[in-house]
Amino acid sequence: MHGTKDIIKEAAALPVEERIIVVDSLLRTLNIPNPDIDKKWVVVAKRRLAELRSGRVVPVPGDEVFTRIRERFGR
């Protein structure tokens, strides 16, 4: 049987698409999907996408978000 370090090393060597599948599969074992919650998130995601596409909401780059957080909370 493989140890944890061996499994991580093997997984890290996989192509990105396969690593995504591995990560998603492992996360699903920790947080079992709930179809009702997933449906609600789809509604939220579609609304947010529509707001972005319409121009009502202006996206903020991730690095800028993290800079603001560090400035606000001193890290």
CA distance 75 to 66: 10
The pLDDT tens digits for 40-62 are: 999 999 999 999 999 999 999 99
Residue 1 has pLDDT above 70, yes or no: no
User: CA end-to-end span of the chain, whole Å?
Assistant: 42
Which of the two residues, 2 and 20, has the higher pLDDT score?
Answer: 20
Q: Domain extents for the chain?
A: 1-32, 34-75
How confident is the model at residue 32, as a pLDDT? 87
Residue 73 has pLDDT above 80, yes or no: yes
pTM, to two decimals = 0.53
Residue 33 has pLDDT above 70, yes or no: yes
Chain centroid, CA 15 distance in Å:
18
